[in-house]
């Protein structure tokens, strides 16, 4: 059971202790409360968030919602992947239930009837990105580190990644999804993955202003007015802006082996180091995960939001058995030998028909 928090609550109450909920000045504040685990999200947390958001959606005394993570290191570093690994290994259904309910929560945030303000301080990775990319107002700080790093553990960027990544200008989202690299605040704003930049030492000031906010216009405009006094919407010198011509060229190539091969051949001085670093990084990732990710993102470009989530669930239902996730988690999280035995082990072993087989029957499933 999940406790409901009334709109008159004046102090934080716990929902399964891992999610804190409080209403102040007509704003529902939700805090992911696993700071020691970088606020990695569990199925219980998904259910608590879903329940509380639904209650506030139906409460006329709640005008808006603020999402944040406890501690100073992370908003949310993704899903609690260890519990999903254990579920699969034990023959349980937790890993199946988790993705169905997590995706439903993320989709609900995209469609939420009241404005959602996401404070993306610290790490915002994987499942954390799924929680914030449907928010109306996404705030980053100098401590923010955003990524969809799933290919590093043999998975693919889900939680709506097939929708929001390919809609970033040019091929930047393809680059972020296929490589799994982290970006900081300036790049997050440049890519449209965040809306506002606020120094972390002003977060407390933001809270005070929200507590004293005199509601006048629409809730969204009122919140934007508060942010406009503290935050900015652009930062200079976004690294990806300078790299964009190269990224647009290489990540529009037909397949992952072609991308890596051409990156390795770059001799132009101003992009040589980046190209070589990127090629070397990609050679540590799961070849299958990168290839499926590339195909998924290109399909997602043409699909509406709901269909993107359906495509990700279609892939996910096959991935624990047929993909590289279990081996990636073993190598990087369980045994920590950092020597995953990917299948296939190299890009040259990729089969186009094998990659395409993951997408078979999706149209029938979706329709």
Domain boundaries, position 40: 13-147+181-230
User: Is 134 marked active-site?
Assistant: no
* 304 located within any domain: yes
Q: Which of 18, 158, 295, 324 is catalytic?
A: 158
Same domain, 104 and 138: yes
Same domain, 334 and 221: no
User: How many domains are contained in the chain?
Assistant: 2
Q: How far apart are CA 364 and CA 367, in angstroms?
A: 5
Chain segment 246-304, per-residue pLDDT in tens: 999 999 999 999 999 999 998 877 788 999 999 999 999 999 999 999 999 999 999 99
User: Is 150 marked active-site?
Assistant: yes
Q: What does the pLDDT average to over 328-356? A: 95
Which domain-ending residue is among 215, 230, 245?
230
Cβ-proximal residues to 153 (8 Å cutoff; 6+ apart), any chain = 81, 286, 325, 328, 329, 332, 333
* 155 located within any domain: no
Same domain, 224 and 259: no
Q: Which of 79, 128, 161, 328 is catalytic?
A: 79
CATH number of residue 65's parent domain: 3.90.226.10
Q: How far apart are CA 9 and CA 308, in angstroms?
A: 37
Q: Which of 127, 173, 323, 328 is catalytic?
A: 127
Q: Which of 106, 150, 222, 312 is catalytic?
A: 150
Same domain, 257 and 224: no
Q: Please determine, for residue 244, whether its predicted confidence score (pLDDT) is greater than 50.
A: yes
Same domain, 265 and 222: no
User: Is 323 marked active-site?
Assistant: no
Same domain, 258 and 206: no
Cis peptide before 344 (omega within 30 of 0): yes
Same domain, 204 and 301: no
User: Is 328 marked active-site?
Assistant: no
Quote the pTM value. Answer: 0.93
| Range name among 14-28, 74-88, 151-165, 291-305 with the lowest pLDDT average | 14-28
Token pair 């508060």 is at which residue? 226
């Amino acid at each position: 059971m999940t406790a409901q928090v009334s709109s008159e609550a004046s102090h934080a109450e716990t929902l399964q202790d891992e999610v804190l909920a409080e209403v102040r000045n007509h704003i529902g504040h939700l805090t992911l409360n696993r700071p020691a685990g970088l606020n990695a999200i569990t199925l219980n947390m998904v259910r608590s968030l879903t329940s509380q958001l639904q209650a506030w959606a139906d409460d006329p005394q709640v005008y808006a919602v603020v999402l944040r993570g406890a501690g100073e290191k992370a908003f949310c570093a993704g899903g609690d992947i260890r519990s999903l690994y254990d579920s699969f290994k034990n023959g349980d259904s937790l890993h199946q239930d988790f993705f169905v309910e997590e995706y439903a929560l993320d989709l609900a945030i995209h469609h939420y009837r009241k404005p959602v303000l996401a404070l993306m301080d610290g790490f915002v990775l994987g499942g954390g990105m799924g929680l914030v990319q449907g928010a109306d107002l996404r705030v980053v700080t100098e401590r923010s580190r955003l990524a969809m790093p799933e290919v590093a553990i043999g998975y693919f960027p889900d939680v709506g990644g097939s929708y929001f990544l390919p809609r970033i200008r040019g091929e930047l989202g393809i680059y972020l999804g296929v490589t799994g690299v982290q970006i900081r605040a300036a790049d997050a704003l440049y890519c449209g993955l965040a809306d506002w930049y606020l120094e972390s030492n002003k977060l407390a000031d933001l809270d005070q202003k929200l507590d004293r906010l005199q509601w006048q216009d629409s809730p969204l405009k009122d919140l934007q007015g508060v942010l406009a006094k503290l935050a900015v919407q652009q930062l200079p010198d976004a690294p990806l802006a300078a790299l964009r011509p190269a990224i647009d060229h290489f990540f529009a190539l037909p397949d992952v082996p072609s991308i890596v091969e051409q990156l390795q051949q770059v001799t132009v001085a101003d992009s040589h180091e980046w190209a070589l670093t990127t090629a070397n990084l990609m050679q540590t990732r799961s070849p299958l995960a990168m290839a499926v990710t590339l195909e998924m993102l290109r399909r997602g470009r043409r699909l509406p939001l709901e269909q993107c989530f359906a495509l990700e669930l279609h892939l996910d239902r096959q991935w624990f058995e047929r993909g590289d996730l279990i081996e990636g988690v073993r190598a990087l999280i369980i045994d920590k030998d950092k020597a995953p035995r990917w299948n296939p082990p190299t890009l040259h072993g990729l089969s186009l028909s094998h990659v395409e087989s993951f997408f078979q029957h999706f149209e029938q499933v979706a329709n």
